[in-house]
Structure 1
Amino acid sequence: MLKHVLDVIDRLDDPAASGKSVAELLDRAAGPEGSGAEVVTVHGDKGSTDFVRVRVRGRRGRARGGDAPTLGIVGRLGGIGARPEILGFTSDGDGAAAALAAAAKLLEMRSRGDVLDGDVVIATHVCPDAPTQPHDPVPFMDSPVDIATMNEHEITPDMDAVLSIDTTKGNTFINHRGLALSPTVRQGYVLRVSEQLAGLLAVVTGEPAVTFPVTTQDITPYGNGVHHLNSILQPATATRAPVVGLAITAAAPVPGCATGASHETDIAAAARFAVEAAKGFGAGALTFHDEAEYEALVARYGSLAHLQTLGAGDAA
């Protein structure tokens, strides 16, 4: 996996990085069949970015008419670079690098005959010159497009679960370098941490699983005027499926716009976790939450889907 991470970062750490250059890298990993990567350039008020989405078809996946569940892997970020203000690959780009490395690995596996049961849809975006924005305790990366646009291009209706990978270093309470797992979030409910995913994280890292707290405001959409940890759980505002955040973390606060702050081995661990989760989820051997427990909560307390919206009143 580290080989794929190094290839991906080498491709992304370039002022000319683009969705096309990433698609070429994925095509190379996929072999003669090609990756089938889709690249869409979207323009916003603060520039443009290239969305990249690839579907790795499974043996019993929906793309082949099968019934195996589909996993979504989202590399969430503002931008991989903040040029011309800052030169180089930003810490914020780790989520994109992990998702793309996982995609390259899954495509390579498929070309060699190791085909997963279910489809895996991997999506992220590539912007080497994104803006920055103030944030406490350290500055964040901004993005040329808003969160709703990201969700539109990165979340598909057929995703049965979503793993959102994001750099989550700009805080003072995840005092751990490596990876941390969020509770499962589904349509406004913050559910318990998946024991299966926590167990998998321990296997992948070789260390006890680390989790991080999630508040109600973290799972509401950006733009409602309240503080958010970061965008790691923003995919949960755009799907009915359960969403889990996989945070790439640091033991001290690190600005998202900082360069020289990415640890390739941590990115590789995140990508390996994504691949292993995809294996188990597509085979029906791993779940993101207890479906019966979730349904019992909804039956007893009602829907909390209104938390997926901007709600009432004036949005900031």
Structure 2
Amino acid sequence: MSLQYTMQFIEILDDPSINGKKIVEFFQEYEYVEASCETVEGKAGSTDFIKILIKGTNGKSSGGSAKTFGIVGRLGGIGARPSRIGLVSDADGAVAAVATAAKLAEMSKKGDRLKGDVYVTTHICPNAPTQPHEPVDFMGSPVDILTMNKYEVLPEMEAILSIDTTKGNRIINHKGVALSPTVKEGYVLKFSEDLLRILEMSSGQLPATFTVTTQDITPYGNGVYHINSILQPSVATDVPVVGLAITAESAVPGCGTGASHELDIAQSVRFAIEIAKEFTAGTISFYDEKEFNQLVNLYGSMSVLQTLGKDV
């Protein structure tokens, strides 16, 4: 089940020598999976971006017509060596993304293939920098957010679930996972009833959600506060994006070690898999298309919020 793959990748990623190539090698045995990585240099070092495609029976990568789902494991880095030893809290997004890919790959191998393609992206950096943030420090990254979006937000994705540790705040006071409203082209839309239903079903609890502000859906670099990078994929695409936050009751620094909780990450994996099943089958939607079009007709485009603005 999801917990097995979560624990497996916590151990795999908790390694100072881990890199993207080793993750890609894990998926080479799977017939219906393509995995690749690319090392990218930044001002504060380098990181390995990985892309994993789990092919559907009617996926567009094979000439089919089923919808394509995207999962982004968002983070600054999986480790902060040499200042911190071990896997940091910020790594949860990468663990969840790769564990989800592994479970989907194993399902495909056994014959439980999804109808559509699923792309999973994240990056692997065991020695990322840290950065000041209120109320607790964040993890930094060797590369900027524009570079992350370039490699992690793919044109093939028709809806995106962005999974990110979101513990460095006093806003979410719930341990587990929490769902954001849908964000599309600068609009914060209502919560998807389909996604709430699936979260409720997969967790066995009432669905926890979190607030999104206008600042959170604007690009990094504009000088305003962001809760974290969970919704940064929304600035780089016109498809609907939803954030799945891995959360805590207390404020936990992203660079803190010993703060990754297997059961919470496994819950995010279960949720992502169930969304992948239903979205690629065409049975759920991330947003109400008719209502979105009505908003645009009434109030115009909000895509300016996907840019750095006129004064930056």
TM-score strictly above 0.5: yes
Amino acid at match of 1:205: S
User: CA deviation digits over 1:231-282, x for unaligned, max 9?
Assistant: 0000000000000000000000000000000001111110110010000000
Q: Is the 8 A contact 1:23 1:35 kept in 2?
A: no
Partner SS for 2:56:
coil
Residue 101 of structure 2 aligns with an amino acid whose one-letter code is A
* Structure 1 runs (4+) greater than 4 angstroms displaced: none
Separation (CA, whole Å) in 1 of partners of 2:229 and 2:126: 18
Aligned to 1:150: 148
Question: Residues of 1 paired with 2:289 and 2:32: CA distance?
Answer: 36
Amino acid at match of 1:92: D
Show structure 1 runs of 5+ residues with no match.
Answer: none
1 CA distance for matches of 2:304 and 2:58? 34
Correspondence 1:99 to 2:100: no
SS of aligned partner of 1:272: helix
- The CA deviation string for residues 3-43 of structure 1, in whole angstroms up to 9 with x for no partner, is 11111111100000100111122335x3xx27321100000
Equivalent pair of 1:169/1:249 in contact (CA under 8 Å): yes
In the alignment, is residue 223 of structure 1 matched against residue 221 of structure 2?
Answer: yes
Paired amino acid for 2:39: T
In the alignment, what sits opposite 2:4?
3
CA contact (8 A) 1:11 1:21 kept: no
Return the letter of the residue paired with 2:225. Answer: H
Cα deviation, 1:86-129, whole Å, max 9, x if unaligned, reads 00000000011001000000011111111101110000000000
**Pair 1:65 & 2:63 matched:** yes
Paired residues, number: 311
> What is the 5 A alignment of 1:1-316?
1-28=2-29, 30=30, 33=31, 35-314=33-312
Q: CA distance change for structure 1 residues 34 and 60 in 2, over 3 Å: closer, same or farther?
A: closer
Return the alpha-carbon distance in structure 2 between the equivalents of residues 49 and 237 of structure 1: 22
Q: Distance in 1 between matches of 2:7 and 2:136?
A: 27
Q: CA RMSD for the aligned pairs?
A: 0.8
CA contact (8 A) 2:32 2:109 kept: no
1:68-89: per-residue Cα shift (whole Å, max 9, x none)?
A: 1111000000000000000000
C-alpha contact (below 8 Å) 2:32/2:55 kept by paired residues: no
Q: Which runs of 5+ in 2 are unaligned?
A: none
Of 179-188 and 155-164, more deviation after overlay is shown by: 155-164
SS at match of 2:177: strand
Structure 2 counterpart of 1:10, which letter? E
Q: TM-score, normalised by structure 2?
A: 0.98
Q: Distance in 1 between matches of 2:299 and 2:34?
A: 43
Matched residue SS, 2:33? coil
Partner letter of residue 141 of structure 1?
Answer: M
Query: Partner amino acid for 2:135?
Result: P
Post-superposition shift, 1:303? 0.6
Cα shift at 1:53:
0.4
Query: Partner of 2:34: helix, strand, or coil?
Result: coil
SS of the residue corresponding to residue 28 of structure 2 reads helix
How high is the TM-score relative to the length of structure 1?
Answer: 0.97
Instruction: Kindly provide the amino acid, as one letter, of the partner of residue 17 in structure 1.
Output: I
Any conservation in 2 of the 1:27–1:34 contact (CA below 8 Å)? no
1:149 maps to amino acid: T
> Structure 1 residues 68, 34: closer, same or farther in 2, change over 3 A?
closer
Q: Which amino acid aligns with 2:287?
A: H
